[in-house]
Structure 1
Amino acid sequence: MWLEASGTMDLAVAVTVGFLLLARGSVGDEAREAAAVRELVARLLGPGPAADFSISVERALAAESGLDTYSLSGGGATPVRVRGSTGVAASAGLHRYLRDFCGCQVAWSGSQLHLPRPLPALPQELTEATPNRYRYYQNVCTHSYSFVWWDWARWEREIDWMALNGINLALAWSGQEAIWQRVYLTLGLTQSEVDEHFTGPAFLAWERMGNLHTWDGPLSHSWHLKQIYLQHRILDRMRSFGMIPVLPAFAGHVPKAIIRVFPQVNVTQLGSWGHFNCSYSCSLLLAPGDPIFPLIGSLFLWELTKEFGTDHIYGADTFNEMQPPSSEPSYLAAATSAVYEAMIAVDPDAVWLLQGWLFQHQPQFWGPAQVKAVLGSVPHGRLLVLDLFAESQPVYIRTASFYGQPFIWCMLHNFGGNHGLFGALETVNQGPHAARLFPNSTMVGTGIAPEGIGQNEVVYALMAELGWRKDPVPDLMAWVSSFATRRYGISQQDAEAAWRLLLRSVYNCSWETCSGHNRSPLVKRPSLQMNTTVWYNRSDIFEAWKLLLTAAPNLTASPAFRYDLLDVTRQAVQELFSLYYEEARTAYLNKDLVTLLRVGGLLAYKLLPALDEVLASNSHFLLGSWLDQARAVAVSEAEAQFYEQNSRYQLTLWGPEGNILDYANKQLAGLVADYYQPRWDLFLETLAHSLAKGVPFQQHQFDKDVFLLEQAFVVSRKRYPSQPQGDTVDLAKRIFLKYYPKRVAGSL
């Protein structure tokens, strides 16, 4: 049983697990889930190879442990038999076979699925049960930074990826604004008041958490219709695998027009968020004792579940990155209870999924009394906490395992969907195991919770694997070598050596030495105070770059290799940029105009154009692809331009005045050429003018001048290619031959 596997569980936690089991509700029958997995196999491998797999779902497999279990047998002259206690478990078993016995890999950047023939036979039946009740996926922000413009075809691929990686608990938050619109109109708000409240699509994550309203909206009628349709398909597919979709619930934030409809309503205006003024921030929070609170909360959940059904787990975040109006435990308990009571008024089996980010983000406010007030105001087992940033700053340790409430150990990893090689693989490898052994641990799962996906796939491959491992990977160096072999479909010594160098450098971060944001000067507004320090030896990046290029003749047929070569080249250029920036800054401070002009010209007119050109050779690094996704959602040219501007804002200024400037920075072809490069051109020209005229450089004036360039990019209607151009290997080699020897020699 799971209780025995934990070894440290007390009676309160046993009650917790019991409630969570009740919350699963109906996840579909065995036949439906088996059919869903068979369809996945056909999509993944094609109908021919799919015939070599026998898929079944048998609840009895989990009878002993009570946890998702799969069994593998056969192969060779007979079909590979994959059995799972759920559709998710069967999918995870299939993935295990493809990964460990066939040397395959399923990845965002492109899958390597060259199956050996005949299929390898298993020497004996392999049965595996996960140690985790839940394997969770997503962050509220992921819906804006990565999912916002997705169509069903892209969602289908992602849900397949989720199933193969054994994910059984995930947010499903699309379409909720259409439900909120129904609720607000029912309450008496006008359509114009509803339109004024919602943000644009690229910023909905923060409207959902109460951080923002109005900014770069409104939402169109067609947007609501499409999102409702999309949500139905997402939910149907998730449920067909036996996943548990997490639906949204009311957290207490209301539109300002609620005061017109209910003049006596008791609301508090919260403080501003993210450097926005109250035109877009300072949300209104209903007082927990106001009778309107349960009315709105219950009406929303009733409308939502009437439309979409329910699996009884709901997400809501009342104080995400916003300080509550009172630190009194009695207030915090009442505010928490009000959210929960509104849930159970509609769904008596409701379980609340809470992002624990608030406790980590403002630790000075959330002392033991305040945390206990929140966690203790919901019955044990009815509050499931995401320890969202546990790989860097775990909260469970300083809260005695969330004071008895169950929690999921999550890896956040990425902020804003930034590009940049980064990871804390050793910490991630050890973290879930340590949390499971923590005294009186209430850990019930592992989670993958990035703000943006589609980068650093090695990090996510490890975390997904840990969801099914009882112990850490014993040898990460050997593991990453195998990762490279599976990724490229062939064992190549130089490529594996490159990955070992990356593991000991960019993927060997700890929270004391790095943060998860890409803070390279390249993607930041220029100044003379930019920090270029890194936690690793840059020579490891340059050497890995060299090794991948050495391996290229044997691996050019691999799309994953081409992606990785470009990504490492991008990182190497980023490192070069920091080194040249340091030289340009030193030249300015030393009043050396000749060197400043020479290095500045190299930075702005050679290195950045070379980066833009190599990025243009892969479809995953194209601004045109990103913007075309946004435009494809529209039903008119005016709407297409609006969605494109939403996207441009998010990538750059984030708000009308650069409120969260460059937070969601990405290195995309087109973005480098028309956003980053003009900023650096202006900066270097301004520095040169300063030296030539003998006047001090004025950062404040530069910020005003460069803001005009940034704004011009956001409102531009320039179209960009959505198809790659050029050969990645040739372009990467050209950059390498030009810059690598000079940097190794330590000179320009």
Structure 2
Amino acid sequence: MEVVTVAVALGFLLLVGAAGSAGDEAREAAAVRALVARLLGPGPATNFSVSVERSLAAESGLDTYSLSGGGGGAQVRLRLPRPLPAVPGELIEATPNRYRYYQNVCTQSYSFVWWDWARWEQEIDWMALNGINLALAWSGQEAIWQRVYLALGLTQSEIDEYFTGPAFLAWGRMGNLHTWGGPLPHSWHLKQLYLQHRVLDRMRSFGMIPVLPAFPGHVPKAITRVFPQVNVTQLGSWGHFNCSYSCSFLLAPGDPMFPIIGSLFLRELTKEFGTDHIYGADTFNELQPPSSEPSYLAAATAAIYAAMTAVDPGAVWLLQGWIFQHQPDFWGPAQVKAVLEAVPRGRLLVLDLFAETRPVYLYTASFLGQPFIWCMLHNFGGNHGLYGTLEAVNWGPKAARLFPNSSMVGTGMAPEGINQNEVVYALMAELGWRKDPVPDLAAWVTSYADRRYGVSLGDAEAAWRLLLRSVYNCSGQMCSGHNRSPLVKRPSLQMNTTVWYNRSDVFEAWRLLLTAAPTLAASPTFRYDLLDVTRQAVQELVSLYYEEARTAYLNKELVSLLRAGGILVYELLPDLDNLLATDGRFMLGSWLEQARAVAVSETEAQFYEQNSRYQLTLWGPTGNILDYANKQLAGLVADYYAPRWQLFMEMLANSLTQGIPFQQHQFDQNAFQLEQAFVLSVERYPSQPQGDTVELAKKIFLKYFPRQVSGSLRQTDHLKPCSP
């Protein structure tokens, strides 16, 4: 039997920590062996010999792997070759940084909220395979808070009124929201506690460091009933919500209850879950502090840290640095300094959350010496839409390491939502182990295509190079990470269709993938990518037909308006919905079934489903953050986006025929009725895929490529043959 020996990690895939006991080593080795069996099956897994040896990392203190053994000459693919490929000698590699971080507080709500243990197990395996060693573990904390609030004298009804619904917990935890979408059922707390125990056990078995939550200072309003003398400040509203759901109460840092509540929570939390001594807390996330005085900001920061160390003297505070870049007018040098210097140096670990686009370390002197992690945020709201800043991602970590007096200690992936743009995360994960950037991204993405599909094929490689130079090469002001396509927005005559790339590159990549389809159609990853690129091409077509319709309306050309609007509403959007229905990952039914599966009764199932529908669409009761978490899902396109577009085109046509101006305000009111009806609907949607992705993608291509792409696009976007 050919055997590959893996010391510390599964080749270039898995890491473990650089410190620990012999018992830890045995546990981590067993965890890796179990992962290999889950990934490859019990038979092929026997070809791997796994050991964990702390001595490999002892000298540098950095995570290290060693790979040796094997035989034969085949290239490693998704399907293991037989015999295993030879490893030339022994390969030893150490990461350049201490941490490879994963998650955003918002990921917990946009992507993880309805997960069961089976889905969490897959994710933790992915984390291990991609070298993650530091990640949030925030499930179950509301159950702990409930214990604390009951102990403090709050009633169950007061606690129920305070918590948000499951789909909005991230913002409840950061003090942005309360009450909205709630209350949390009793069964929710029990299931989340169970889930958190399993998540923590598996993460720790891989040598990862779970980050637990700490007290950020926000309290329920009912605390003032129990303690009438307590000193609290009501903060301003957030996200177009009124104070019925926002305007949280912040405990004054000098109030005697601050350390009591903070230590009560952390003591109860660590009693339940243990600790790895790193805690997250975000007090002013997108919230204006009650004072800009440095003394106040320092006191507020120090109070949070003091509550941590009262329970855990070795506590390290993980802080999202988003606050400093989100409100730059408030966070001047004095205010930033007050926060950063209120915690002993080395005990505040800052996430430079959006560093690929707006790095904060540059204007804070490397966070005044506090250690920080260079993070790629990439995606807001879990939107679909091909997007990336791969050049900035590639060069950013090294630039941060070389910054004068740099205090960078790691790299991180901090998307608000996952399950999109896998190539971006593949590059970022690799950079966690590279000392230097990838020297040639075009060559890298070519190799990525080969690895992804298990075969080298020129058309597929060329398609990926075109995507690299277009949708994945954003730079400048347009790189928000948020999909603002007219497809997923409430229509108006002022919609911006500008993109940072040549649409022709997307259409040509689409054509090349279809050319490769006869060879690659059996590959699940290829079929996913073909659907995703076709979806993106349809998104581009929506913009073009919208432009035609708007121009026709402004020119008072009713026939042209009806033509463009008719194609968009009655052909293009139904075609997209049918295509999305060929893959369960792009189906509203799958999304809603996840939510319903958490429930223990039909009443709960309907409640969770409505939470999920709200998040995808209105976000709040009146469309407070409308379409922020937009997705392109079968069912959502047909029953939410398409009816809005139909209404829009009908009202434009009526405006022309009646000779009156288009009334946007009236349209918005009518559109809200459609949106609200969708959210409140109890219609069930299929969760099993129907149709063939390749065949439908081909039909859409043949239908629209000659009609629109080679027609109006040639005039507006300079379509020409592209040599990759």
Q: TM-score range by the shorter chain?
A: over 0.9
Q: 1:619, CA displacement in angstroms?
A: 1.1
Q: What 5-or-longer segments of structure 1 have no aligned partner? A: 1-20, 78-99, 105-112
Percentage of matched positions with identical amino acids: 84
Structure with greater contact order relative to length (CA < 8 Å, sep ≥ 6): 1
Instruction: State which of 559, 562, 571 in structure 2 corresponds to 1:606.
Output: 571
Alignment pair present for 1:368 and 2:333: yes
Amino acid at match of 1:61: L
Q: Distance in 1 between matches of 2:670 and 2:283?
A: 38
Task: Name the aligned partner's letter for residue 40 of structure 1.
Answer: L
For these two proteins, the number of residue pairs brought into alignment is 698
> What are the within-5 Å matches in structure 2 for residues 373-392 of structure 1?
373-392=338-357
- CA gap of 1:665–1:26, structure 2 versus 1, over 3 A, is farther
Q: Secondary structure at the match of 2:27?
A: helix
How far did 1:102 drift?
Answer: 4.2
Cα pair distance change 1:23/1:71, threshold 3 Å: closer
What is the identity, as a one-letter code, of the residue corresponding to 1:631? R
After TM superposition, the runs of 4+ consecutive aligned structure 1 residues lying more than 3 A away are 21-28, 100-104
Equivalent of residue 258 in structure 2, options 287, 293, 296: 293
- CA gap 1:23/1:495 in 2 versus in 1, 3 angstroms: closer
Alignment partners' CA distance in 2, 1:619 and 1:248: 33
Give the SS at the match of 2:84. coil
How far off is 1:63 after superposition? 1.6
Instruction: Report how far residue 746 of structure 1 moved.
Output: 2.0
Q: Which amino acid aligns with 1:201?
A: P
Question: 1:558 is matched with which residue?
Answer: 523
2:202 is aligned with what amino acid? R
Q: Is the 8 A contact 1:407 1:443 kept in 2?
A: yes
1:258 Cα deviation from its structure 2 partner: 0.4
Matched, 1:627 2:592: yes
Does residue 696 (structure 1) correspond to residue 661 (structure 2)? The answer is yes
Partner of 1:88: none
How many Å apart are 1:28 and its aligned residue? Answer: 5.9
Gaps in structure 2 of 5+ consecutive residues: 1-15, 714-724
**Contact 1:24/1:244 (CA < 8 Å) preserved in 2?**
no
Output one character per residue of 1:556-612: Cα deviation in whole Å (capped at 9) or x when no partner: 100000000000000000001100100100000111111111111101000000000
What does residue 55 of structure 1 align with?
50
What is the CA distance between 1:27 and its match in structure 2? 10
Residue deviations 1:246-295 (CA, integer Å, cap 9, x gap): 00000000000000000000000000000000000000000000000000
Does 2:149 align with 1:154?
A: no
- Is 1:35 the counterpart of 2:35? The answer is no
1:747 offset after TM fit, Å?
4.0
Contact 2:18–2:62 (CA under 8 A) maintained in structure 1: no
Q: Which residue is equivalent to 1:416?
A: 381
**Equivalent position to 1:719, from 681, 684, 693:** 684
C-alpha separation in 1, matches of 2:145 and 2:434: 40
Work out which of the residue numbers 404, 426, 443 in structure 1 matches 2:408: 443
Say which of 708, 714, 717 aligns to 2:673: 708
Deviation at 1:26, TM superposition (A): 7.5
TM-superposed CA distance for 1:741, in Å, is 1.4
Distance of 2:540 and 2:492 partners within structure 1: 17
Answering whether residue 128 of structure 2 is matched by residue 163 of structure 1, we say: yes
Contact kept in structure 1, 2:381 and 2:417, CA below 8 Å: yes
CA distance in 2, matches of 1:470, 1:515: 27
2:59 & 2:273 partners in 1: Cα distance?
Answer: 33
CA distance in 2, matches of 1:101, 1:149: 41
Aligned CA RMSD, in angstroms, stands at 1.4
Does 2:539 align with 1:574?
yes
Displacement of 1:332 after TM fit?
Answer: 0.1
Q: CA deviation at 1:701?
A: 0.8
**1:226 maps onto 2:191 in alignment:** yes
- 1:23, distance to aligned residue in structure 2 (A): 13
Could you tell me whether the CA contact under 8 Å between 1:532 and 1:578 is conserved in 2?
Answer: yes
Distance 2:709 2:378 in 1: 31
Distance in 2 between residues matched to 1:651 and 1:581, nearest whole Å: 23
Deviation at 1:632, TM superposition (A): 0.2
Q: CA contact under 8 A between 2:177 and 2:248: conserved in structure 1?
A: yes
Q: Say which of 489, 493, 502 aligns to 2:454.
A: 489
Shift of 1:116: 1.3
Cα distance, 1:558–1:295 mapped onto 2, change above 3 Å: same
Question: Are 2:297 and 1:354 equivalent residues in the alignment?
Answer: no
Which residue of 424, 434, 437 maps to 1:459?
A: 424
Aligned to 1:84: none
Scaled by the length of structure 1, the TM-score of the pair is: 0.92
How far is 1:29 from its partner?
1.1
* Alignment partners' CA distance in 2, 1:617 and 1:423: 25
Instruction: Please give the TM-score of this superposition, normalised by the length of structure 2.
Output: 0.95
Match of residue 3 from structure 2: none
Do the aligned residues in 2 keep the contact of 1:425 with 1:507 (CA within 8 Å)?
A: yes
| One-letter identity of the residue aligned with 2:48 | F
- Other-structure match for 1:404: 369
Distance 1:269 1:359 in 2: 21
Q: Say if 1:41 and 1:22 are closer, same or farther in 2 by CA, change over 3 A.
A: closer
One-letter amino acid of the counterpart of residue 222, structure 1 = S
Q: Contact 1:641 / 1:717 at 8 angstroms: preserved in 2?
A: yes
Letter in 1 for 2:49: S
Q: Deviations over 1:473-507 (max 9, x none)?
A: 01100100110011111111100000000000000
Q: State how 1:729-740 maps to structure 2 within 5 Å.
A: 729-740=694-705
Q: Deviations over 1:648-694 (max 9, x none)?
A: 00000000000000000000000000000000000000000111111
Amino acid at match of 1:365: F
- Change over 3 Å in CA distance of 1:216–1:383 after alignment to 2: same
| Alignment-derived partner of residue 685 in structure 1 | 650
Deviations 1:441-497 (A, max 9, x none): 000000000000000000000000000000000110010011001111111110000
- Show the counterpart of 1:190: 155
Question: How far apart are residue 634 of structure 1 and its match?
Answer: 0.1
- Structure 2 CA distance, aligned partners of 1:465 and 1:600? 45
Report what 1:654 is aligned to.
Answer: 619
The equivalent of 2:10 in structure 1 is: none
Match of 2:59 among 49, 56, 64: 64
1:507 is matched with: 472
Q: Distance in 1 between matches of 2:566 and 2:709?
A: 21
Amino acid at match of 2:434: R
